[in-house]
Each structure stands twice: as C-alpha cells, then as structure tokens.
Structure 1
Amino acid sequence: MVETGTMNTLVVCRTSPYGTFLEGGDHGEIMLLKESPAVARAPGDKIDVFVYVDSDDTLLASVTRPAIVAGECGALTVSALTDSGAFLDWGMKSDLFVPRSHQMGDMAVGQRCVVMALVDELNGRMIGTTRLYDYLEDENAGDFKSGQKVELLICQETDLGYKAVIDGTHLGVIYRGEIFQPIAIGDQLPGYIKEARSDLKIDLALQLHNPEARTEIEAKILQHLKKNNGESTLTDKSRPEDIYRTFNVSKKVYKHALGALYRNRLILLTKEKVSLV
C-alpha cells in the first residue's frame, strides 16, 4: 500500500523515454521524477521514494527525501511569502507551503521556523503547520519519567523560557532558570524530563542535578586540573559562559561540584584559582 507524504519502497514496473514508472497499487502507475545525475532503472528494481501530490494534483515519486515527511517536525527557512501563506525550503524542487490558517504568527523571509509536515485532507498535497499544539501532546500521561533523557527541538521563545518538541511527539517548557547556554529556534539538543507535574504539563531541563550527574562533573574538574598542571583559573567567581564553555554545566552546578571536591580535600580554592591538593 502506497502512503503519500512519506517514504515508500516501490517496484519499477516500466521505463520509457519519458521516465520511469513505479507500481502504485490502487493508485496505478506513479511517475518517478528524473534524477540528477540520471540513474539507470530496470523493471523489478526496488527503490525507496518519497511519494506526494504535486500542485497539478499528480501523484509523483522522488528519490530525494525532504527534510521532514508527514508527521515529522523540523526547522525550515522561509523562502517566500504570498497573501495566502508562506513557502519554506525543505530540500525539494518545490517549497513546502504553510497556509495562513496554519501559522501561529507572522512569518518573514529568511526566518527559521519549526514546522510539522502534513497531508492536506482537502487535496492530498503536502503542507506545513506551525500550530504544533494542534497536533502534539502537551501533557505527560505516563509517557515520560522524571530524569528520562529525550531529544529536544527548540520551537518557540516565551516569557517563561522556551518551548520544545520532545522526541517528535510532545511539547514541553524549558524555564529560563534552566538555561545556561545559548539556544535558538530550530536547535536540536539532548535534554531531560525535569519532573511529573500534577497538571501533567511537562517541564524540561538541559542538565540533570542528580547524584550521578554531580559525580560526573566532579570527575571532569579533576581531569581538567590534571591536564593543566594541577591548576585552573575557573573558580566559583568565573563567568557562567566561561564555565559552560569548558564543562557544559551551569555555574550553580559547577560551584556545588567545587564545594564537594573541597570538602573531600581534593582541591584548594582561592579567589584566583583552583588547585589540586
């Protein structure tokens, strides 16, 4: 069965001077767009193709996989605007159309937006939407556990922080107090489920603050000192961005780790430097 808007493995049924045709089951023959450079195909060959309906309502296949297929979210750049909507570059010959009715807010040429690809129920064509809340879950009904590692796609900045797509299925929030690194719309990065809230909304964190994570940063500090002749100018007074650049943790986490190492008499602390004992 051929599924439009996504990748399919189809069989070549015939070739002609006009192109290659694939077996499409109930859809009949599906024309394969010409490749560059051209690749010889023979009847019986199996090909992985993206199947979609073009602007002329013709079902076509392409060996090129777009940046996102139906049901997937990704960061795309706006290439053009019209009265009816926006066009975004998704790696195909024709750009992905985002109708105005599917836009959360105004879009601008050159803007990077997080979009979900959809098959339009009216005509079967591919469209995009930035109205992610209409298609993704924003409640944790037992899907995630506190401390669980997830993949995040930063999709929107708010007064509280940033909203992110979680593993392509849910939406959550990273509060500003949990952000200790530069992030931007469209960034993909690892994160964690912070806690299970009573209202089922999902809070996220970019770093864990459990004992295992603290032990890991302590080990990194000791390793850093050993590589630098037993000394470092990164103290508890250093700038947060300098600490993050070296250890990928917040200043708060770093200070806690220094305190633990000091209490265990593994380091000496002064205003100017950290030293191995």
Structure 2
Amino acid sequence: MKPGQTQTLTISEQISSGFILRDENGEKAFIQKVFADDSWEIGGEVKVFVYQEEGNLKATTEKANAEIGEFAVMTSVQSLPSGAFMDWGIIKDLFIPYKQQKSKIIEGKRYLVYVYIDETTGLITGTTKFKRNPQYENLPFKNGDKVDLIVMNESELGWNVVINKQYIGLIYASDVFKKLYPLSEESGYIKTIREDGKIDVTLQPQGFENVDEFKQKIIDKLNDNYGLLYLSDKSSPEEIKDALHMSKKNFKKAIGSLYKDKVIEILDDKIRLL
C-alpha cells in the first residue's frame, strides 16, 4: 500500500459502511460506501487515493490536490498552535506542523504546499518550507518541452516556479514579458537544464519553429485594433513587451514571417493587416 498516492486496489469485502480494499501484498484500506457505485463487486479493481486517518489506511475516489512528492496551492481551513489543516481536495485535510511552516499559516489564506512522508512519524505531512532552485538528476524533460507552472515568488534573478507540480525552476527576469503573481498558474517551456541540475524556464517557446504562436498573437491584436498596430521592428523592446507580452526577437521573427506570407504590411512606425 502506498499512502499519499493514487493506486489500483482490489475490492475484497463489503461491509455495512463501505468496502475493504486490498493491495497485492494483502494490506487493507477502508473506503466509505459514499465513494462507491453500483458497478463495484468483490474481486473487481478500483483506482483510489489512499490516505491515513487515526493510524488506519483509508481510500477515496476523490482526487487529492497533491500526492507525495508534489506541490499544490491549498487553502488553510484551520490554524492551531500545533499546526494548520489545509484543504487537500479530499475528505481528509492535510496537516502542516508548526515547525514546517515558513511563516505562521493564517486560516482562510492560500499557500504553496509540498506533500511528503515524515521520516520520524511515518505520516503524510505538508510543509511550506522548501529549497529554492534545488539540483536535480535524471529529469524527465528536454529543452523546449511545454510544462505547467505554479508561480512561487520573485527573487533577485527573476521568478521561482514549480514545474509540473514536482520540480522547482527559475524564470529569469529577462524572460518575463507579462505580469506574474505568486500562486498563479501559467504555461511555460523548459529553456535550459544546466549541468548542475538546475532548471531554467521561459514563458514563451524558443526557436523559429515556434513562431506560429507569436504570429497568431499579433494577428489577434491587429484584429482588435482595426487592422493597425503601432509597432514595428524599430519599436523598443519595452513597447513590444507592454503591447504583446513577447520579446522583440520573437516579434521580429513573427512579423517577418507574416510579411513573407503577405498577411501584413510593414511600415516605418506600424504594421497593417492586408
């Protein structure tokens, strides 16, 4: 049995309040009747999330916000001197001990939380304390991969982000072309996996092969402005960033391609939709 993870278990017994599930080693977990449906039968297999409650293993068909080894944004539902309980997305709240809080958690507020198994207690635990830009090995990414991001915080170099709920990376300030907010969700791209195992991320695809995304953004902006956009290859990077949330390099690639396709006309101080 793997507490804190989604797994497939076998229905071994039905009781008045629910079902007993077993894994291949015979370990048991209880699931309430409310989470079952009419198709469940003894010997069948079900996909469930396993959690701990008062020393027992229980299961639910609900989806947890984060499993072991993952980050998620959670809301505090109760804050006590000993720790805080977070909305985990399932029937059970996640506990964060006071010593695992970067700053005191306030009830009703949202926090970025990492879920792990405490080595001392063996219990599923949350923490708001984690390393910034840690070093990784054997990453499942390559440069250019599209990823999901959770924005963490701004630093001297740029913005720290969580990648695909599991890894911490960095967006350099020079690669930020839109307003970012802590705990917001964004799409991004792996820019570089460095030799030291740290991950650099960008909000925009790299390379000419990804120019279609920028072309469409420019066309949409032109359509919103009656076919005129007062930007050109002579515009400053700041003007382009404010208007289109893209770099001047990507802007020039995109308008060059649109001009070649006879979609736009490039004038001294503007571009025009043909």
Same fold by TM-score greater than 0.5:
yes
Query: What are the residue-to-residue correspondences of 1:115-194 with 2, within 5 Å?
Result: 115-133=113-131, 137-139=134-136, 144-194=141-191
TM-score norm. by structure 1 comes to: 0.77
Partner SS state of residue 131, structure 2: helix
Cα distance in 2, alignment partners of residues 146 and 47 from structure 1 = 37
Q: Does 1:204 align with 2:204?
A: no
CA-to-partner distance for each residue in 1:188-239, whole Å, 9 max, x for gaps? Answer: 33322333546553322111342334465346646865x6798323425657
* 2:33 alignment partner in structure 1: 34
Please tell me the residue identity of whatever aligns with 1:235. Answer: L
Partner SS state of residue 217, structure 1: helix
Whether the 8 Å contact between 1:21 and 1:32 is mirrored in structure 2 is yes
Whether the 8 Å contact between 1:140 and 1:202 is mirrored in structure 2 is no
Whether the 8 Å contact between 1:113 and 1:155 is mirrored in structure 2 is no
Partner SS state of residue 70, structure 1: coil
Q: Which runs of 5+ in 2 are unaligned?
A: none
Cα distance in 2, alignment partners of residues 27 and 107 from structure 1 = 39
Cα distance in 2, alignment partners of residues 53 and 83 from structure 1 = 22
Cα distance in 2, alignment partners of residues 191 and 223 from structure 1 = 21
* 1:66 alignment partner in structure 2: 64
* 1:57 alignment partner in structure 2: 55
Alpha carbons of 1:267 and 1:141: their partners in 2 closer, same or farther (altered >3 Å)? same
Cα distance in 2, alignment partners of residues 234 and 109 from structure 1 = 48
* 1:96 alignment partner in structure 2: 94
Whether the 8 Å contact between 1:68 and 1:74 is mirrored in structure 2 is yes
Cα distance in 2, alignment partners of residues 150 and 159 from structure 1 = 23
Cα distance in 2, alignment partners of residues 254 and 81 from structure 1 = 48
Select the residue among 227, 231, 242 that pairs with 1:235: 231
Please tell me the residue identity of whatever aligns with 1:105. Answer: S
Cα distance in 1, alignment partners of residues 21 and 136 from structure 2 = 42
Cα distance in 1, alignment partners of residues 185 and 34 from structure 2 = 31
Whether the 8 Å contact between 1:4 and 1:53 is mirrored in structure 2 is yes
CA-to-partner distance for each residue in 1:95-116, whole Å, 9 max, x for gaps? Answer: 1111222223343333322222
CA RMSD of aligned residues (A): 3.6
Whether the 8 Å contact between 2:69 and 2:166 is mirrored in structure 1 is no
Cα distance in 1, alignment partners of residues 109 and 188 from structure 2 = 25
Q: Which runs of 5+ in 1 are unaligned?
A: none
